[in-house]
Structure 1
Amino acid sequence: MNATDSPRIRFLGATGTVTGSRHLVEYAGRRVLVDCGMFQGLKQLRLRNWAPFPVPASSIDAVVLTHAHIDHSGFLPRLVQQGFRGTIHATPGTADLIAILLPDSGRLQEEDARYANRHGFSKHSPALPLYTEAQALHCLKQVRRHAFGQGFEPIPGLKAAFSHAGHIIGAASVHLDSPEGSITFSGDLGRDDDPVMQPPAAAAGADIVVVESTYGDRRHSEAPSADALCDVIARTAARGGTTLIPAFAVGRAQAILHAILSLKAAGRIPDLPIYLNSPMATQVTRLVHSHADEHRLTEPERRDLVEKVRYVRTEDESRALNHPSYPSVIVAASGMATGGRVLHHLEALAPDPRNTIAFAGFQAAGTRGATLLAGADSIRLHGQWVPVRAEVAAIEGMSSHADQAQLLAWLGTLPRPPRHVYVTHGEPQAADALRQAIEERLGWPASVPEYLDTTPELPCP
């Protein structure tokens, strides 16, 4: 192996944070970007979305997506706007999902900008969207689909293949192989015991492994998550309140709805109405039928998701939910309360002590979700401070991310020890805890890269 020609990685995101996944692979004078995510959470991270991209967008030859979540795909329209003209490679499920998520993201940004300008609470005059719905639709023309296990070449001489990662529909680990060295990116790994998604496939052997660490410092609760969800909904209904569940439109919304429907069918919670207030999540739920091989839901369970949930489609219907006349459950995007219709529900429901705001997934630092779980007595929404008198609860065990034990188990499926493991996509404590566990339990060299770090050339064997 010629070390001077081996693939190198520049970490342009997902370092010190779970958002902004962007890994630039440079090989033989070409560039491949693995994931093209949007930064979320702390302001200093969000500002990176507006900063010049670390390399000229026109110099990137291809993008390879691990999955469709906005922190992995949400910057694509902006990258194309800045000059990227290459191919966007994705699994069929990811291609189907970004066709929903990216235009929705652009549309929400336009709506938020109009709302900010109308009410004058933005520091910018005028407030502008990062990209528009039209720009998001335009970038989809560059997408090319590849089945799991089907080889392709994003650039000459560099072979690529997707393998199942669980997590959400279409989610993949990515294996890149060249004569001079190989790299496996875990993507976001799902759980072996996920009630909805199939488990991840075994890891492909590689010289370098890049692994996520969202839950790298903890184990998921062994107590059934359905019990915690049942308790929250039941006690909230008993005091005449509404349970508001912020949820990611892709993956968690469907899992949460399935869990609530199961509780209702078993008579464990009252027969109250269940609302899904996310046009995007409504479209995503329909995709569950066309990708049945990737999840565990039976045909009757898929049918129940469509027939036994009340889908909120119009803004008038959404506003009506802010003044419920009887106990109910509202599932609304986004999962970390960073945008979307859930913000209007928070504004209306958070001041009422009868209600509950229940979070069922990871909350990144700097998000409203993290602020609420930390016990804040008020949150800033649409330019004003809103008191929080509602109960705030965390539903443990409903995350779609592998925990530390499951991440180590996935790494343990590698057919041979890698030369190095890079731990990304985690808060600093979580990433370093996983690094330490890899070194101590697997005996492999591991490190946590900093923003804009570049890997050294692969050493010759």
Structure 2
Amino acid sequence: MKLTFLGGAGTVTGSKALLESDYTKILIDCGLFQGLKELRRKNWDNLPINLDELDLIILTHAHLDHSGYLPILVKNGYKGKVYCTKATRDLTEIILLDSGKIQEEDARRANKYSYTSHDPAIPLYDIEDAQSAITRLKTFDLNTWIKINDDIKFQFINSGHILGSAFVVLNVKGKIIVFSGDIGRKEPILLPKYEYIEKADYVVIESTYGNRLHKNRIITEELLRYIKLTYSKGGILVIPSFSVERAQEIIYFLSVLKREGKLPKIPIYLDSPMGVNATEVYLKYKNAHTLTDEDIKSMLSTVQLISGVNTSKSIVNDEKPKIVLAGSGMITGGRVLHYLDKLISDEKNSILIVGYQAEGTRGRSLLSGDSELKFFGKYYKIKAEVFKINEFSGHADQSELLDWLQHFNEPPKLTLINHGEPHQSQALKVKIKTDLKWKCTVAKMNNEYYLD
């Protein structure tokens, strides 16, 4: 067996791991690179594999950095299936269609306002490409072994990261290889906790927060503090939000504050077609999360869900105090840019960051204290206050990653660390070697790892 990382190594984006056994080739995750320009350029490169020889793709979950390259692969000739859980299928459809639409719009805007070095700018893929990829998705239940061929079978096990997320456990000729994808929190906000796995010969584990411990603060108190501060200035609070999981978590906490009578009487909007659709998926899979019917009813009465373009434009142009959740979470595109276009240079407004910001994204620039932010082809002075709540993270911290690893009955032959920036991955490697005494290494892009 041979394992090659074609993405998600040395970075938190572009996750792709190619597993080869004899003549069978399986790609675990098919993510888009985001953030740094040098990484985004890789999305335009063909993968170093013959797509006619690629038998199968398995998704751990729907996030763009794990599914967003699918339309490109299908456009370039991949003819096989993409296996995932039912909720992952529904969320992947939403995410890919939204991604195709945004890329079409970005290319159109770049050409219209001539702020592109390409003549003309073209989208990486479009809505039609996304629709083609969606037809390849095939779903399976959790905790059920699925036979791929006489030598290989696999199963999905709940990983607690987002709705439908799962560990991928492959049995290849009796050898067990576990791919963590992204691991959720030990005490997640809306989801059942991740499950433990007893046995593995090889483990591939993420390291997004491999060097840190999440602080144990009360989220509602922090959230209320920033809402009241912005309201006292007569400003608008903009929350760049990941439309899947994070948006639903924020809406849940806002509904709790509303029920407790603590919120100012101002409108709250979720201005994200993808976020609205993802919220509807939550209503569909009631057994896959921990929300009660009362919770859901309260959430829907707290926030106004906005999909239409004209309604969105009117909210953008309304200068009265309000709270707006808008995609994208790392401010790489989407409707949040239209709000920032109006609000970022006014000190009475606030921007609340509630998720991981990859290197090279506008969200990372805000957190780094940059004085200007570039989008729509020009620079904007950052005068709005910028805040961050770390406790929303959907990724396990170092202690939670170790907790999950410690529940294997015996050490794997090798643990490969991926999906992390170099410092985070190295820190987790040191911790695993020191505390668990396991053999482990940090995965490198395009390196081949032979599994006995």
The alignment-based identity, stated in percent, is: 39
Matched with 1:445 is 439
- Contact conserved, 1:58 with 1:82, CA < 8 A, in 2? no
Matched, 1:404 2:370: no
| Aligned counterpart for 2:384 among listed residues 369, 390, 399 | 390
2:277 aligned with 1:277: no
How do residues 289-308 of structure 1 correspond to structure 2 at under 5 angstroms?
A: 289-308=283-302
Residues 220-229 or 405-414, more deviating: 220-229
Distance 2:261 2:447 in 1: 53
- The unaligned stretches of length 5 or more in structure 1 are 1-6
Stretch deviating more after TM superposition (59-68 or 305-314)? 305-314
User: Counterparts of 2:450 and 2:306 in 1: how far apart (Å)?
Assistant: 51
Q: Which residue of 2 aligns with 1:349?
A: 343
Secondary structure at the counterpart of residue 33 of structure 1: strand
Distance 2:148 2:134 in 1: 17
Deviations 1:432-454 (A, max 9, x none): 11111111111101110111011
Is 1:322–1:349's contact at 8 Å kept on the other side of the alignment? no
Asked whether the 8 Å contact 2:251–2:302 carries over to 1, the reply is no
> Structure 1, residues 217-238: CA drift from partner, whole Å, max 9, x if none?
1011111122211111110011
Note the 1:6-405 alignment, pairs <5 A. 7-179=1-173, 181-405=175-399
Q: Which amino acid aligns with 2:218?
A: P
| Aligned-partner SS, 2:171 | strand
- TM-score under structure 1 normalisation? 0.96
Mapped to 2, the partners of 1:154 and 1:242 lie a distance apart of 52
Judge conservation of contact 1:89–1:154 (CA < 8 Å) in 2. no
Show CA shifts across 1:367-416 (max 9, x none): 00000000011100110001110000111211111111001001111122
Residue identity opposite 1:311 in structure 2: L
Shift of 1:305: 2.6
Structure 2 unmatched runs, 5+: none
Instruction: Identify if the C-alpha distance between structure 1 residues 77 and 154 changes in structure 2 by more than 3 Å, giving closer, same or farther.
Output: farther
Which contiguous aligned blocks of 4+ residues in structure 1 show a shift greater than 4 angstroms? Answer: none
Other structure's SS at 2:316 match: coil
Secondary structure of the residue aligned to 2:7 is coil
Contact 2:206 2:419 in 1 (8 A): yes
**RMSD value over aligned CA atoms?**
1.2
SS in 2 for 1:307: helix
Q: Secondary structure at the match of 2:449?
A: coil
**Correspondence for 1:3:** none
Q: CA offsets per residue over residues 127-147 of structure 1, 9 Å max, x none?
A: 111111111111122111100
Contact 2:254 / 2:302 at 8 angstroms: preserved in 1?
no
| TM-score after normalising by structure 2 | 0.98
Letter of the aligned partner of 2:18 in structure 1?
L
Matches of 2:51 and 2:241, distance apart in 1: 32
- Once the two structures are TM-superposed, the CA of residue 204 in structure 1 deviates from its matched residue by 4.6
Q: Deviations over 1:307-358 (max 9, x none)?
A: 3311122222222222333211100111110111111111111001011111
| Deviation larger for 233-242 or 189-198 | 189-198
Answer yes or no: is the 8 Å Cα contact 2:241–2:247 preserved in 1: yes
User: Is the contact between residue 57 and residue 80 of structure 1 (CA under 8 Å) also seen in structure 2?
Assistant: no
SS at match of 2:424: helix
